[in-house]
Amino acid sequence: MTFEDIHAIADDYVLGLLERSDELAVEAEMARNGDLARAVAAARDRFLPLDMTAMPVPVSSTLWQRIETRLQETPAGAGDTAGEINTRMDPDRPPQASPRAANDNAASRWRRAAFGGLAASLLMAAGLAFTLTRTVEPLVVAVLVDEAGAVQAVVEDFGSDRAVVRLLDDLKVPADRTMQVWTLPSREMGPVSLGLLDQARSTRLAPPALPRPQDAQLYEITLEPAGGSPTGRPTGPILAKGFAKLPR
Amino acid sequence: MAAAEMAADGLDRELFACARGDALALKRIFDREAGRLTAVAERIVKRRDLAEEVVQEAFINIWTKAHQYSPDRGSARGWIHAIVRNRALNLLRDGRREDLVDAERLDAMREADQMDHVLSAFAALDRDSRLRACLDTLEETRRRGILMAYVGGYSHGEIAGRLRLPLGTAKSWIRRGLAALRECMA
C-alpha cells in the first residue's frame, strides 16, 4: 500500500477498517515513519472519548490470576534476543556475595529493566557517541542502568585498547572506594577490567588488548576498594550494567 | 482528550513502571481499567467471555510492550486502548472465518442490541466535547457508519449491508465523513 494520505490511513487503521495485510503494512511503516505514527496517535486520542462512554463491567474474579499465570509462562523480558545476557559477570563468585543476584525474580526484573532502559536510551547514546568522537566511530555502545532501570553511564568501546565512559548520573562513591569498569568478552575469558574511574568523572580508558567487542557484550561498573579490585575480578556491588549495541 | 486529563490519569507513569519490570504497576492498571476495557472489547466481540479473553491477552501485550510506549505517541490511555481494540478486532476477524453461519444467525439476533450500543456511545458523549460537536455536524448516515466501525468493530462490508448501501458508496461516505471530522477537530 502507499502512504500518501497518512491521516486517512491513520483513521482507517484506528477504526479497524483495513484488511489485515494492510494493517500489518501500517504497523511496519509506523516503526520508521514518525509522521504516520503521530497521525495514528492523534486518531487514537480523537476517538478515545467514545471508549470512555463504555460503562465498566464486573470482570471474573479469575481474570487477573489468568493474566499472572500467562505472565509467568512468558519468558522474562519477552523481547530478549540474547539468551546469554543474564550471565553473571563472575561465575566464580558465590550468589550470596550479591543479594541482588540471589533472587531469580530480582534478576529477571533487572534484565527487563536493563532492556527498557536500553530501548529508551539508545538514541541518546548514539548521539553522545557521535559528538564525543566525531571522526572515529565506537565499535559498540553500551548504556548502563542501575537496578531501577535509570541510565547511569554510557560506555563506548572503540576496540584497539580504547574505551570511553560517560557518567550520566551522580554515582555515590565512598572515599575509600573506586569505580571499576568491566566487560565480559566471552565466558571462557571471564570478566576483564577496562580500567578505574575517577570520582564521578567521565573518563577515557586504556583497556588491555581484547577481542573485538561484540553485539550484546556485557559491560558493568562495580564499586571496588581504592586502587581497584584486589583479585582482578569484580568483587564489589554492581552500580550499573548494560549490554553493547552496534551503532547503526 | 484534554491534555490535562491525559497527564492527570497517571497511566503514563504506570506504563514506565511496567517497562522497568514493576509488576505491581500492571496490577494497578488492571484494577483501574479492566472493567472498562472489557466493556470496550465486548462492544466489538459481542460476548463477555470473549471480551475477557481479549483483555487477558492485551495485558500480556501491555507488559511486554510497555517499553515501546512514548508520550510523543499520544496518550498512555490511547495506547492501552489500542492494544485492547486490536486484539478484539483480530479475534472478530478470526471468528468470522470459522463459523460464518452461526455468526450470521447470532448477528441477526443481536442486531438491534448492537445498534443500540453504537448509538448509545454517541449519545453518552459529553455534550461539550469536541468529538461530539464534530460528529453532530456530519450527515446521519456518515456518522452512523463511523460509529459502527469504531464502537462496534464493523467492517466496510457489514456497514454497507446494515446501511443498505453499495459497498463502494459506504466506503466513500465513511472516507469523506472521516475527512470532515478531522478538519472539524483540527
Residue B120: give its domain's CATH number.
Answer: 1.10.10.10
pLDDT band, residue B117 (cuts 50/70/90): confident
| Residues B106 and B182 occupy one common structural domain | yes
**Residue B2 in domain:** no
CATH number of the domain bearing residue B92: 1.10.1740.10
Report which DSSP code applies to A216.
Answer: T
pLDDT at A186: 82
Domain ranges of chain A: 6-51, 95-245
Using the 3D structure, point to which of B98, B122, B153 is the last residue of a domain. B98
Q: Pull the grid cell for residue A19.
A: 484488511
A79 at B interface, C-beta within 8 A? yes
Residue A141 bridge partners (DSSP): A156, A245
For residue B162, being part of any structural domain is answered with: yes
Interval A39-97: pLDDT, tens: 999 999 999 999 999 999 999 999 999 998 888 776 544 443 333 333 345 444 443 33
> Do B129 and B83 belong to one domain?
no
B35/B109 same-domain check: no
Task: Give B93: exposed, middle or buried? Use CB within 10 Å, 0-12, 13-18, 19+.
Answer: middle
Contact of A63 with chain B, judged by CB distance below 8 Å, is answered with yes
pLDDT for residue A122? 53
Using the Cβ of B131 and the Cβ atoms of chain A, whether some distance falls under 8 Å is answered with yes
Q: Which residue of B has its CA nearest to A56?
A: B36
Region A149-158: mean pLDDT is 87
Q: What is the mean pLDDT of residues A122-133?
A: 50
What is the Cα–Cα distance from B139 to B118, expressed in whole angstroms? 16
Which residue type, as a one-letter code, is found at position A76? A
Query: Running DSSP on this structure, what letter comes out for residue A152?
Result: E
Q: Is B1 within a domain?
A: no
Residue type, A221: I
pTM over 0.80: no
The pLDDT score that the predictor gives to residue A70 is 85
Residue B3 lies in a domain: no
Sheet-wide strand order for A151-159:
A192-197, A177-184, A218-225, A238-245, A140-145, A151-159, A162-167, A203-205
* Cα separation, A12 vs A8, whole angstroms: 6
> Which member of B52, B153, B185 has the closest CB to residue A60?
B52
Whether residues B89 and B144 fall in one domain: no
Q: Are residues B127 and B115 in the same domain?
A: yes
Interchain pair B82, A14: CB under 8 A:
yes
Structural domain harbouring B16: 8-98
Nearest CA-CA distance, residue B51 and chain A, Å: 10
Contacts of A20 (CB under 8 A, 6+ apart): B90, B93
Which of A209-218, B5-14, B88-97, B138-147 has the highest mean predicted lDDT (pLDDT)?
B138-147
Residues in chain B: 186
Q: Looking at the complex, does the CB of residue B114 fall below 8 Å from at least one CB of chain A?
A: no
Per-residue model confidence (pLDDT) at position A239: 87
Chain B residue whose CA is closest to A107: B21
Of B66, B68, B77, the CB nearest to A48: B77
Q: Please tell me whether residue A48 adopts helix, strand or coil conformation.
A: helix
* Amino acid A209: pLDDT: 82
Whether residues A57 and B125 touch (CB distance < 8 A) is answered with: no
Q: How many beta-carbon pairs below 8 A join chains A and B? A: 156
One domain, residues B30 and B89: yes
The residue type of B70 is S
Q: Residue A133 pLDDT > 90, yes or no?
A: no
